[in-house]
Amino acid sequence: MNQPRHFLSLLDLSASEITDLLTRATELKRLQHQHQEHRTLKNRVLAMLFEKSSTRTRVSFEAGMNQLGGSALFLSPRDIQLGRGEPIEDTARVLSGMVDMIMVRTFEHENITRLARYASVPVINGLTDREHPCQLLADLQTWFEHRGDIQGITVAYIGDGNNMCHSWIHAARLLGFRLNIACPEDYDPDAAILQMAGKNVLIIRDLMEAAEGAHLLVTDVWASMGQEGEQSSRAAVFKPYQINADTMKVADKDALFMHCLPAHRGEEVTADVIDGPQSVVWEEAENRLHSQKALMEFLLLSH
């Protein structure tokens, strides 16, 4: 049997695969908005394994599979034997015999690479502590729909050097745009991920300097899932790294604002920015649905 194609990282796709996949995502969006049937994954089943909370990822995958004519199963470790110590390798082999594709949201990235190694169906990363590649598909689709090509633009990522930051670094490397990262010392992205990215990606400690002239400003929460205990210490360190009206003023006058959500208004972004005219966060969230439908078609029908 052919090895399945997995999507554990944005780097699992080439630049042209991303562009083609997102062109299809925009087409699927049109079909969905016009209530035209597009049941390309009839009777296919997606298992969704969630070790962390989710609104967007869960609903977009489940609704997406339904719209494509298939179905999705929500599996929480509290309910399945994985939570009682059944090895992930065994879970991978058992699920592969019953479903067509597996989506996982977990803590250590290694959990998903182990699962993928033993799965004979495609595995999708629905967020790990290290990466959030599905979110990047939606973010890039949103950029393409608003502004076209992303090559050569400047993106400013303000905040924690976390999973979202890592996936933005991968995007910059693949698609050739400049990424300025403004994060506090000790909260830098992973050194190996940064090093692989080359000269497209710069760490700039000063938020205003990073945002100056940027065409897209992006942020994320200061304390990610699993870091709830650090919430108050992080709030103090990250205070100077808020995107607000002053930050937007130094960016390009047509700059867009993105946030993967959930957002904390008054922390990483002010309400006037996230709810303001330059924010595209609601389309960005909706595009999770369309881009993941295109991803699932790509994984199941093109390979």
Residues with catalytic roles: 105, 132, 135, 220, 260, 288
103 forms bridges with which residues in the sheet? 48, 124
- DSSP E strands, 178-270: 178-182, 201-203, 216-219, 256-259
Residue 225 has φ and ψ, to the nearest 5°, of -60, 130
Per rule CB under 6 A, is residue 261 in the interface with ligand CP?
Answer: yes
Residue nearest to ligand NVA (CB): 224
- Residue closer to ligand CP, measured from CB, 4 or 64: 64
CA–CA separation, 50 and 105 (whole Å) = 5
Per rule CB under 6 A, is residue 221 in the interface with ligand NVA?
Answer: yes
CA–CA separation, 171 and 15 (whole Å) = 9
- Residue closer to ligand CP, measured from CB, 260 or 280: 260
- Residue closer to ligand NVA, measured from CB, 154 or 163: 163
Cα 111 from chain centroid (whole Å): 18
Near ligand NVA by CB under 6 A: residue from 67, 96, 154, 163: 163
Residues 6+ apart with CB under 8 A from 83: 76, 77
CA–CA separation, 254 and 272 (whole Å) = 16
Near ligand CP by CB under 6 A: residue from 49, 175, 182, 260: 260
- Residue closer to ligand NVA, measured from CB, 105 or 215: 105
Cis upstream peptide for 262 (omega within 30°):
yes
Per rule CB under 6 A, is residue 141 in the interface with ligand CP?
Answer: no
- Residue closer to ligand CP, measured from CB, 54 or 113: 54
Structure tokens at 33: 């908005």
CA–CA separation, 264 and 261 (whole Å) = 9
Nearest distance in Å: CB 146, ligand NVA? 21
Nearest distance in Å: CB 262, ligand NVA? 7
CA–CA separation, 168 and 139 (whole Å) = 9
Binding mask 46-85 for ligand CP (x = CB under 6 A): --------xxxx----------------------------
Per rule CB under 6 A, is residue 224 in the interface with ligand NVA?
Answer: yes
Structure tokens at 177: 């745009």
- Residue closer to ligand CP, measured from CB, 96 or 287: 287
**Dihedral Cα 208, 213, 214, 217, nearest 10 deg:** 50
Interface stretch with ligand NVA, choices 8-16, 29-37, 177-185, 216-224 (CB under 6 A): 216-224
Binding mask 100-139 for ligand CP (x = CB under 6 A): ---------------------------x-------x----
Structure tokens at 61: 């995958």
Near ligand NVA by CB under 6 A: residue from 260, 269, 274, 299: 260
Distances (CA, A) of 210 to 213, 235, 259, 292: 8, 20, 17, 31
State the residues that interact with ligand CP by CB under 6 A.
54-57, 127, 135, 260-261
State the residues that interact with ligand NVA by CB under 6 A.
127, 132, 162-164, 220-221, 224-225, 260
